[in-house]
Structure 1
């Protein structure tokens, strides 16, 4: 019975932990630790399973986020959240919605652990502040204050992207065609003048260590990695071979269309595009092999 009661909430708990931590691996570790704690309590004495388990997972996630903060500060290059596929079946497993868009998760990285937890519980799951306060071990008034501050920071830093999914998918597919075909003029016409490219290679693959800004720089980088020689160098740095065939296609990643490149059936890069007013404003390139295993 205790197992069934926990499993009933596993997807919810994974969703909470993933949004707070930004990686599925850490989220699953936290949920497993929550299970160990749950198995050690008198479940019959727990009046509200959902509230109790959210409280446990939230506090474990906050503690873990504090511990891994120093590790991310020494990360080689830019750090981006771990992408997750949102195909049918996977989406339900982590209760994915627009609240896991990569662009939003990137902004959440600028919040303190407590602010991030409050924002996730309030904005993604709609919990009342009284319950949030209990989850983070603070008063309701403090939870409200943290929530207001977090929401203000997110609104200031979050890019305003187009919400028309059909339009975003169309632009993503055009991006694939222009990049794969070496159509530099076509690429430039799709990019905002101040477009940025943020790459996460984790020091394991050839990727820019700093953000590229401007249509010229971004186009030159994309042109360099889409030549035959550029693709070969990239695959070699990623420990992959093109022998199995390189494929590039549009897929649902973190609730939005994205470009997924795979070699021999193994994902080697994900391009997530932030589109505003019909132009690509930001490109997130995820190429760290350790972050692509869930795809």
Structure 2
């Protein structure tokens, strides 16, 4: 069976409503892309834990609707446009989509990822490239963190370079749980992961069980109850984004034990100075490494 995709370029304010209207008019699925993807005008939308974008739309958005091969693309778009009171029907193009093994195609897009000196993140359907390496079996999922993003990679490389053997580790904003698992496999004694998203906690628990890692993953309110103020960790890592990191400076700094380390990422290079300034009253942070415009900040709390 084959399908047809309708590709429609619209302004940001129409992307979400048009998507909904297309589904009502008979589209099988709808997605929104950056119409400037691949150009200098491309604008990434970042949706990491705690900072999800309000809408998946760009100034110039491309709405892509999948319809049956025998469906009338013009009629479906006309109905959707009328439903949201567009004065004119947007210009569009179509392209044929041939049937194929979609599961195999999706899996082929995710290869094992080599990080640092000796870490491999391997999807479950792949063979392990190096059985002697530190291997994490992790499939792409709903929670952020597979090692493909520069911020995750930077934190993993820091942990590898400063193996927390026999130390306690807090992963705040844990997402998929990948950083907590790296810490545990590097010899950490007690590891706790915290995230505001219940789905992330569910995903992290699943991943930890699959990778034979004894880790406690919890929501913030549960964490506060089981680890009251004053409970500190030898290593605290937070891979979120700059705005929440600045807000959480007193709390995260307070969770670092004397002589312990704080590692922050989710920070663009141009934001490093202002994030470090927010933590300056508690811990002196410097840029440990940079990758693709993102940085990891780290510092040691005075003994």
Asked whether the two chains share a fold, i.e. TM above 0.5, the reply is: no
Instruction: Report the TM-score range of the alignment, normalised by the length of the smaller protein.
Output: under 0.3
In proportion to residue count, which structure has more helix?
1
**What is the TM-score when the length of structure 2 is the normalising length?**
0.25
**What is the TM-score when the length of structure 1 is the normalising length?**
0.25
Higher relative contact order (CA closer than 8 Å, sequence separation 6+): 1
- Structure (1 or 2) with the larger CA radius of gyration: 2
